[in-house]
Amino acid sequence: MMDCRPPHQLTQPAATIPRLTTPQNPRIVMPDVIIIVMVLETETVLEIVTGSERATGLKRVMGLKGVVAVIVSNPIVLHGPFGSNPGTRDNQNGIAEPNYPEWDFGLPPVTSGVGQFRPEEGMTLSFSIARLVVGLQQGIDDNKLTQYFSYYRPDTIARSINGTVSGYPGIFYAVATNDEKLIRTWIKHGGDVNAVEKIHGFPLLAFAILNALNVQKDTTAMATTLLSLGADAGVIPRAFFMPFLQDPPVEGPDPRVVTDINEPKKKWCKRYIWPSLARVTNISQRYFLEKTIRDRPASARQNQVALAHNATELLGISYFMIGQATAASSVIKKLLTHLALPTSKPLVLVFAGPSGHGKTELAKRLGQLLTLELECVDSTEIKYESDLFGPKQPYLGYQEGSPLNNFLTRMSGKRAIVFLDEFEKTTREVQNACLIPFDEGKYLDRRNREAVDCSKTIWIIATNALDRKIVDFCERNPDIFKSDDVEKHARLMTELEKTLKKQLKHTFGNPLSGRISAVLPFLPFSLGEQAVVAHKYILELKNKVLAPVNLSSGKLVGRVFLHIKSDGAVCKAVATEGYDPDQGARSLQTAVKTRIEEELVYTYLEEDEVISETQALADYTVDIQRDGTLLIFKSTGTEKSFAD
Is there a single domain that holds both residue 511 and residue 569? no
Q: Is the dihedral of CA 490, 493, 499, 500 positive or negative?
A: negative
User: What would the mean pLDDT of 459-480 be, rounded to a whole number?
Assistant: 91
Q: For 107, what's the count of Cα atoms within 13 Å in the CB-facing half-sphere?
A: 30
Choose between 531 and 396: higher pLDDT.
531
Tell me how far CA of residue 474 lies from CA of 118, 349, 352, 479, 588, in angstroms.
Answer: 56, 22, 14, 8, 20
Report the distance separating Cα 403 and Cα 98, nearest Å: 62
Query: Residue 299 falls within a domain, yes or no?
Result: no
Q: What are phi and psi of 339, to 5 degrees?
A: -75, -35
- b or e along 607-621 (b: 16 or more beta carbons within 10 Å of the residue's beta carbon)? eeeeeeeeeeebbbb
Is there a single domain that holds both residue 492 and residue 533? no
For the chain, what is the mean pLDDT? 84
Torsion of CA 213, 98, 254, 232, to 10 degrees: 70
Instruction: Give the tens place of pLDDT for each residue, 86-120.
Output: 344 444 444 444 567 789 999 999 887 668 999 99
Q: For 270, what's the count of Cα atoms within 13 Å in the CB-facing half-sphere?
A: 14
- How much of the chain, in percent, has pLDDT values that exceed 70? 83
Helices (H) and strands (E) in the chain, counts: 23, 19
Count of domains observed in the chain: 4
**Domain containing residue 436: CATH number:** 3.40.50.300
Is there a single domain that holds both residue 510 and residue 387? yes
Choose between 501 and 38: higher pLDDT.
501
Instruction: Give the tens place of pLDDT for each residue, 549-579.
Output: 999 999 999 999 999 999 999 999 999 999 9
Find which of 52-56, 309-313, 487-491, 557-561 is predicted with most confidence, using mean pLDDT: 557-561
The answer to whether the CB of 193 falls within 8 A of the CB of 229 is yes
Is there a single domain that holds both residue 387 and residue 468? yes
Is there a single domain that holds both residue 222 and residue 365? no
User: What would the mean pLDDT of 491-507 be, rounded to a whole number?
Assistant: 90
Choose between 298 and 643: higher pLDDT.
298
Last-in-domain residue among 521, 548, 571:
521
The answer to whether the CB of 355 falls within 8 A of the CB of 582 is yes
Report the distance separating Cα 234 and Cα 213, nearest Å: 22
**Domain containing residue 259: CATH number:** 1.25.40.20
Query: Residue 292 falls within a domain, yes or no?
Result: no
Instruction: Give the tens place of pLDDT for each residue, 538-552.
Output: 999 999 999 999 999
Report the distance separating Cα 75 and Cα 55, nearest Å: 12
The reported pLDDT for the residue numbered 114 is 67
Report the distance separating Cα 530 and Cα 321, nearest Å: 12
The reported pLDDT for the residue numbered 312 is 87
Element (H, E) at 473: helix 467-476
Q: Smallest Cα–Cα separation from 360: which of 369, 349, 368, 351?
A: 351
Q: Is the pTM of this model over 0.85?
A: no
Is there a single domain that holds both residue 551 and residue 510? no
Is there a single domain that holds both residue 505 and residue 556? no
Query: Residue 319 falls within a domain, yes or no?
Result: no
- How much of the chain, in percent, has pLDDT values that exceed 90? 64
Report the distance separating Cα 409 and Cα 446, nearest Å: 10
The reported pLDDT for the residue numbered 298 is 87
Query: Residue 100 falls within a domain, yes or no?
Result: no
Query: Residue 322 falls within a domain, yes or no?
Result: no
User: What would the mean pLDDT of 23-39 be, rounded to a whole number?
Assistant: 40
Is there a single domain that holds both residue 64 and residue 163? no
Instruction: Give the tens place of pLDDT for each residue, 358-380.
Output: 999 999 989 988 889 999 999 99
Instruction: Give the tens place of pLDDT for each residue, 196-228.
Output: 999 999 999 999 999 999 988 899 999 999 999
Query: Residue 383 falls within a domain, yes or no?
Result: yes
Is there a single domain that holds both residue 486 and residue 560? no
The reported pLDDT for the residue numbered 546 is 94
Query: Residue 376 falls within a domain, yes or no?
Result: yes
User: What would the mean pLDDT of 238-267 be, rounded to a whole number?
Assistant: 93
Q: For 572, what's the count of Cα atoms within 13 Å in the CB-facing half-sphere?
A: 16
Element (H, E) at 37: strand 34-40
The reported pLDDT for the residue numbered 393 is 85
The reported pLDDT for the residue numbered 552 is 94
The answer on pLDDT for 448 being more than 70 is yes
Cα 467 to chain centroid distance, Å, stands at 29
Is there a single domain that holds both residue 360 and residue 491? yes
The reported pLDDT for the residue numbered 115 is 81
Is there a single domain that holds both residue 405 and residue 265? no
Is there a single domain that holds both residue 473 and residue 348? yes
The answer on pLDDT for 419 being more than 50 is yes
The answer on pLDDT for 17 being more than 90 is no
Query: Residue 101 falls within a domain, yes or no?
Result: no
The reported pLDDT for the residue numbered 599 is 95
User: What would the mean pLDDT of 36-62 be, rounded to a whole number?
Assistant: 37
User: What would the mean pLDDT of 113-128 be, rounded to a whole number?
Assistant: 90
Q: Which domain holds residue 264?
A: 119-281
**Domain containing residue 564: CATH number:** 1.10.8.60
User: What would the mean pLDDT of 457-485 be, rounded to a whole number?
Assistant: 89
